[in-house]
Amino acid sequence: MSDYLLEIKDVSKFFHGLVAIDDLSMKVKKGQIYGIIGPNGAGKTTLFNCITGLYTPEKGEIIWEGKKINGIAPYKIAELGILRTFQTIRLFSEMSVAENIMSGRHIKSNQKWYNGIIHTPSMKKDEKKNWLKVGELMDFFELSKYATTPAGDLSYGLQRRIEMARALAAEPKLLILDEPAAGLNENETIKLAQTIREVRDQGVTILMIEHDMDMVMSLCEYITVINFGAKISEGEPSFVQDDPVVVEAYIGSDEDE
């Protein structure tokens, strides 16, 4: 098996004949904090949707731990250990914070079909184990006092934290974060960066899209830059930052005007 946890090989995705992702390749190492940047509409979220099974790429391969996973149903991708958050927060907003995080324990719970009707001692043990794990995560993300509050009633920053806690509840190998700092204030962003580092130190590989350049440059160990669906640059932050192609993509060259 290769050193890479996730490999994207020449992946293309079209929408009604328009190219959303164009022959994209990248490799994520185990334990890395990997960043994807690019202007709006560059195809970053589309790429995440391909990895997590929401979309099936027309061309190329997505390799997870040496096995091809494109075309696999999203719930099976989660079972493999790839969990994500969403750019537009997708919480179960009427449900409490604890119940939201509990959804992440779904794949870790070993309840049988009849446990929906009849409770057994082993099922109750499983239930308790999972709730305790939810409790741990609420402590880690400082959400405990909102345990019974409907997730939709909370602030943007808290909702982002709940989404991350929910994904981590599934004990992922790879955590995919889609613009985790969007809508956060400066303090919250600093705290988020710290949290992401802590999560990585617990052994979770991180793949993230982010627009906050300060955060990306300080946090990520490797970066791929995408524009119009294609990779235009990749490398360590210091390299990418000064790459003229990247600067041009972001600021725009004179010919554009």
Partner 1 sequence: MRQSYKIAIVFLIVMGFFPLFSNSSWLAVGTTFLIYSVVAFSQDIILGRAGAFQMGHALFFGLGAYATAILNVHFGVPIIYTFIPAILIPLIMAIVLAGPIIHLKGDYLLVATIGFNIIFIQVIQNDIFGLTGGPNGIFGIDVVRIFGVEFMSQTAIYYMSFMLLTLTLLIMRNLDASKYGRAMFYINKDDIAAQSMGINVRYYKLYAFALGSAIAGAAGSMFAIQYSAVSPEAFNVVQSIMFFTIVLVGGSASLPGVLIGTFVMFVLPEIFREFATARYLVFGLAMILTMILRPRGIWPVKFGNIPNYLKKDTK
In the list 93, 122, 194, 218, the residue contacting partner 1 (rule: CB under 8 A) is 93
Residue 71 CB coordination number (10 Å) = 11
Stretch that binds partner 1, among 17-25, 29-37, 52-60, 242-250 (CB under 8 A): 52-60
In the list 31, 73, 202, 214, the residue contacting partner 1 (rule: CB under 8 A) is 73
The reply to whether 78 sits near partner 1 by the rule CB under 8 A is: yes
Question: Which residue lies nearer to partner 1 by CB, 25 or 149?
Answer: 149
Measure the CA–CA gap between 145 and 216, rounded to whole angstroms: 30
Stretch that binds partner 1, among 24-32, 59-67, 78-86, 220-228 (CB under 8 A): 78-86
| 216 in Cβ contact with 223 (< 8 Å) | yes
Cβ of residue 100: shortest distance to partner 1, in angstroms? 9
From the number of C-beta atoms within 10 Å of its C-beta (0-12, 13-18, 19+), residue 115 rates as middle
Measure the CA–CA gap between 142 and 252, rounded to whole angstroms: 41
| 175 in Cβ contact with 84 (< 8 Å) | yes
The reply to whether 121 sits near partner 1 by the rule CB under 8 A is: no
The reply to whether 144 sits near partner 1 by the rule CB under 8 A is: yes
Question: Which residue lies nearer to partner 1 by CB, 180 or 237?
Answer: 180
| Residue showing tokens 């305790």 | 132
Residue 184 CB coordination number (10 Å) = 20
User: Exposure string (b/e) for 24-39, b if CB count within 10 Å is 16 or more?
Assistant: bebbbeeebbbbbbbe
The reply to whether 74 sits near partner 1 by the rule CB under 8 A is: yes
Stretch that binds partner 1, among 14-22, 131-139, 232-240, 248-256 (CB under 8 A): 131-139
The reply to whether 75 sits near partner 1 by the rule CB under 8 A is: yes
Cβ of residue 149: shortest distance to partner 1, in angstroms? 8
User: In DSSP terms, which residues pair with 150 in a beta bridge?
Assistant: 96
The reply to whether 241 sits near partner 1 by the rule CB under 8 A is: no
Element (H, E) at 146: none
Question: Which residue lies nearer to partner 1 by CB, 84 or 231?
Answer: 84
Question: Which residue lies nearer to partner 1 by CB, 84 or 161?
Answer: 84
- The dihedral over CA atoms of 165, 209, 175, 102, expressed in degrees to the nearest 10, equals 30
Question: Which residue lies nearer to partner 1 by CB, 130 or 189?
Answer: 130
| 211 in Cβ contact with 23 (< 8 Å) | no
By CB under 8 A, name the binding residues for partner 1. 52-54, 73-76, 78-79, 83-84, 86, 90-96, 98-99, 102-104, 106-107, 109, 111, 113, 115-119, 123, 127-128, 131-132, 134-135, 138, 144-150, 166-167, 170
